[in-house]
Structure 1
Amino acid sequence: MLYVSAVTILLAVIVWLMPKNMQRRDIYILWISVSFVEIIVDVTLGSPVFGLYYFAGEDKVSPEALGLKLIMAPLFGVIYFNYMPKRFLRFLPYWLIWAAFSTFFEWTTVYFGYLTYKNWNLWYSALFYFAAMPLMRWHYFYIKHEE
């Protein structure tokens, strides 16, 4: 839990200091959207029904893990959306890099004991990230407020 807490603090500092290419209301909407998707996916797949993985050494989602999920995933999302290229051809390498980075970061959470796989493996996550990134891009351009 210490590793993920440290990463969350670092992400908060990065997001606070980075130049923003988005409007505050877009950040707000994306924060809620990313939190919602993160919680629904993890509570569903980590539930006793599926039991594919769990967090923080517990078979259920603890309040501490839930709190971190409500902060950490949206912070990654703000960075992802803030620097995401508008043109699709430029988005392709960005997409692949973020999918690879997300998979690597998930591996580090497994390594440091925050995430424990039961009936899941890292390749499933890589496929999920590969599919989710373009969907997130579509969602961003759908909700984005023009200046």
Structure 2
Amino acid sequence: MVYIFTISSLVINILIILLVPIKLTRQDIYITWMFVTLNVLAADLFFGDVFDLYDLIDPGPQTYDLFVQMTLPATFGILYLNFMPKNKKSFIYYLLFWVIFSSLYELLSSYFGYVVYKGWKLWWTPIYFLITCLITRWHFYFARNKNTGH
């Protein structure tokens, strides 16, 4: 069931990306893909492996889980940035939507057996997603600014 859930999620996200107008450049998509993937791998290594707060499917590294981590979260990141409003008031509601959506998606992932909680507190999830969404937004604007670093 976990494989159907994760592959279905990936297929749905890819279809949305292919069927809706994408405002992001190929460079934006590439940078977002790498940034989100690096953050997911680092967070899961830190929280899941070092602190042993959860497993993804089964304990220990797995090829299938690596595939999921390198694809699925990045597609969510692309969708998040593609539709992100520039207006700060609108962004607050948008951010709230994504934090709630991501938290519910994680719960659904747990239901289907992708995330197996061992010590993770559910109230940490929205805090994690709030921070992650804000950092991703900051990184997006940082990467787009041509005058950074020089």
Please report the TM-score for the alignment, with normalisation by the length of structure 2: 0.91
- What is the rounded CA distance, in whole Å, between the counterparts of 1:62 and 1:83 in structure 2? 32
Question: What's 2:91 paired with?
Answer: 91
What are the ranges of 5 or more consecutive residues in structure 2 without an aligned counterpart? none
Structure 1 residues 7-46: aligned runs within 5 Å: 7-46=9-48
Map 1:1-147 to 2 at 5 A.
1=2, 2-47=4-49, 49-56=50-57, 58-144=58-144
Which structure 1 residue ranges, 4+ long, deviate > 4 Å from structure 2? none
Deviations 1:23-71 (A, max 9, x none): 1111111100000000111122111x31000011x11131101101100
Question: Residues 118-146 of structure 1, C-alpha deviation per residue, up to 9 Å, x if partnerless?
Answer: 01022111111122212211111111267
Measure, in 2, the Cα distance between the counterparts of 1:65 and 1:124. 22
What is the distance in 1 between the residues matched to 2:136 and 2:11? 24
CA distance in 2, matches of 1:50, 1:91: 33
Is the CA contact 1:34–1:77 (under 8 Å) kept in the aligned structure 2? Answer: yes
Letter in 2 for 1:118: K
Partners of 2:32 and 2:47 lie apart in 1 by 22
Q: Work out whether residues 46 and 60 of structure 1, in 8 Å CA contact, stay in contact via their aligned partners in 2.
A: no
Q: Percent identity?
A: 30
Q: CA RMSD in A?
A: 1.2
Unaligned runs of at least 5 residues, structure 1: none
Task: Give the number of aligned pairs.
Answer: 144
In the alignment, the residues of structure 1 paired with residue 11 and residue 36 of structure 2 have an alpha-carbon distance, to the nearest angstrom, of 18
**2:124 corresponds to which letter in structure 1?**
Y
2:28 corresponds to which letter in structure 1? D
Say whether the 8 Å CA contact 1:109–1:115 is kept in structure 2: yes
Matched AA of 1:65: D
Q: CA–CA distance in 2 between the matches of 1:35 and 1:81? A: 15
